Amino acid sequence: PWQMFAYGVGGLLAGLFAHWGVLKRTPAKAKDFVVLGIFGFLTIVLIVGPLLDTSTLFMMANTINSTSVAAIYLSGLPVNLIHGTATLLTMVLVGKPLLEKLQRIQVKYGMME
């Protein structure tokens, strides 16, 4: 449930940013994919990762104090940075064909109409 919630919040933010015009719904230029990648990196590092680290804190720590909080969040930071970097690289390197395939599926099955 924590992962579903965390990634749901990330998806909600992506939808809101697209609605507000910050992210393009149909990116066409390389710059657009860099913006999507940076957005993905920041979302993972600042929102999704800390939410998942919070779940680890609640499930693993015997007592919640400043020491256990610091230990959980600091030990999760490298993983969050790697996850964010992978998201950034995925969007920059293969974002165009990936989103084209997703858009074809949307059209084929009449989604998002």
pLDDT digits (tens, 9 = 90+) for 97-113: 998 898 899 889 988 76
d(CA 90, CA 74): 25
Encode pLDDT of 7-21 as tens digits: 999 999 999 999 999
Q: How confident is the model at residue 44 (pLDDT cuts 50, 70, 90)?
A: very high
Q: How confident is the model at residue 27 (pLDDT cuts 50, 70, 90)?
A: confident
Longest CA span, the chain = 52
Average pLDDT on 64-77 reads: 95
Note the pLDDT of residue 111.
85
Note the pLDDT of residue 58.
94
d(CA 102, CA 43): 21
The answer for residues whose C-beta is within 8 angstroms of residue 80's C-beta and 6 or more apart is 44, 45, 48, 49, 50, 53
Predicted TM-score (pTM) above 0.75 = yes
Note the pLDDT of residue 80.
97
